[in-house]
Amino acid sequence: MSKSPLARRLGTITAFALSIAATVAFAFSPATVSAATPDPLIDQQWGLADIGAAQVWSQSTGVGVTVAIIDGGSGPHADLDANLDPGQSIIEGNRTSGGADSSGSEGHGTEVAGIVAAVNGNGIGISGVAPNARILPIRVFEAGRPTSNSNDVALAVRFAVDAGARVINLSLGSDSEDSRITSAVAYAVSKNVLVVAAAGNEKDGNINPKWPAVDDNTIAVQAVDDNNKEAIFALHGDYIDLSAPGVSVMSTKTSVFTCNGITQPSGYGCDKVNGTSFAAPFVSGAAALLFSARPQITAAQVRFLLTSTAIDLGDPGKDTTFGAGLINLPAAFAALNIMFPMVNDPIITTLSRVGFLATGTAPTNAQSPQLQWFRCTAQGAVAAKKPTECTAINNAVALTYQMTVNDLGKFLRFGVRTTTAGVKSIVLSATSPRVNGVWLKVDGLLPGNTYTFGQLIGSPSKGIRSIKVVSGACFVKNSALVVRPNATECKIKVTISAKSPFPQLGFTAIFKITT
């Protein structure tokens, strides 16, 4: 079944967790990881190795990216607390700030969060796929109640977007579409947020495709076991986009659990951690790594990288069991480095014209960069501190800056401030070319042709334009430049009279006549 609308009705939303032993409810930057005190259970995390997470941690660990977990609450947990934001509880439309932990629940949201962003290198437990990402827990399931109000989920999605999440994890779903959730997901996509949804688990013969995974705007995630075979509870359908580990996944728990029958340290386990609920956060964590590595990347580009580099597991190409295949982080990052080549220093791309945009590119590994544009009176190379001839431009703190008349005759720099281990630093790009208020709109002239001043001269100034021929086989007639048929070169002087807020503008140009 494709991701096309099914019958619309209000359905209960349940968490997608499944116990293999006993079926439970099928329910709806420099970036380096510290290895000084290894995580003792990381060797039992077959899922991390399966997707190649540790192989890309030298490039990204999720710094600066927030993943919203819309579930039954996440934490408190010693292996999560450092990465947990306060979050919010939304139950029957009632919002409670800071009440998004998993107290009183079975810990489903804590398990999901641990897969995404358990702390690495702290000497306890496990590591998440993106161990330095932030987790925004949003609780939509009450304690002892495995279903949620669809409107609460829709409100949670919108809250996550407005709170700054770049990835939203939905390890939940329903047999039917709810227009409020569909609308909320569309809102997320319109704001460049990636929405990851569990594809659903078969329980008691229920093989209906699951919403919102069916929605084209989500990435629907299938579960595989440690042999990369489809999980025994797998649903099929052409709505499935990707596959990820989802059987016996070691993660953070809310009490003492076992893994392969062996009792684990309190707060960890893999038995009963089965389901597409736990495959989805592998994809959410992978997306967080890509967003962190290149903050300028779009959600659509992250989706493309993950699906286009996946390991094909089933029939050639995208199929109804595995989608595009198993996420493959090393391949995704190889493609990312082609799409967005590494940048060591800030750079500016601009035509240096008043009214035009200048675009800055931050160093690839800048952690949580703060951006600032500067106006300078002299040229200069890349600088590790602000030159005295440069002044910060008020409110110019985005990747792009539209040049104004105040920049006329000046040079621009793009600055990036970062904080690493509490130490603040700044690096400024080399200067742009001098900002101009008048320019030529053509590169060459053709013999025998006539060009109006408007065709030749570009400027936001409203002053009167004039052209004087200095030399060559050209002449001015009726506010136009006429090129004689035998012309080989034409030297002209362009002038625009002063017109507030612009002074008099002008330059001299030499054209080689093309034939």
- What is the set of active-site residues? 71, 108, 277
Neighbours of 393 (CB within 10 A): 19
* Residues 6+ away with beta carbon under 8 Å from 502: 405, 408, 437, 459, 460, 461, 462, 463, 496
Q: HEC states along 41-56?
A: CHHHCHHHHHHCCHHH
- The letter for the amino acid at 125 is G
Task: Determine contact, residues 297/287, Cβ cutoff 8 Å.
Answer: no
Task: Determine contact, residues 110/268, Cβ cutoff 8 Å.
Answer: no
Which value, in Å, is the radius of gyration of the alpha carbons in the chain?
A: 29
* Residues 6+ away with beta carbon under 8 Å from 423: none
SS3 437: coil
Q: How far apart are CA 393 and CA 29, in angstroms?
A: 25
- The letter for the amino acid at 303 is R
Q: How far apart are CA 387 and CA 82, in angstroms?
A: 38
CA separation, residue 380 to residues 344, 432, 436, 481 (Å): 17, 9, 18, 38
Kindly give the pairing relationship between strand 242-245 and strand 251-252. unpaired
Phi first, then psi, for residue 425 (nearest 5°) are -145, 160
- In the DSSP assignment, the letter for residue 211 is B
Nearest C-alpha neighbor of 363 from the set 390, 340, 375, 345:
345
Task: Determine contact, residues 286/303, Cβ cutoff 8 Å.
Answer: no
Half-sphere exposure of 472 (CA within 13 A, CB side): 25
User: 49: which 2 tokens?
Assistant: 């190795």
Phi first, then psi, for residue 234 (nearest 5°) are -65, 140
- In the DSSP assignment, the letter for residue 108 is H
Task: Determine contact, residues 198/170, Cβ cutoff 8 Å.
Answer: yes
- The letter for the amino acid at 54 is A
Q: Return the sign of the alpha-carbon dihedral for residues 272, 275, 281, 287.
A: positive
CA separation, residue 25 to residues 17, 110, 112, 243, 253 (Å): 7, 17, 16, 22, 18
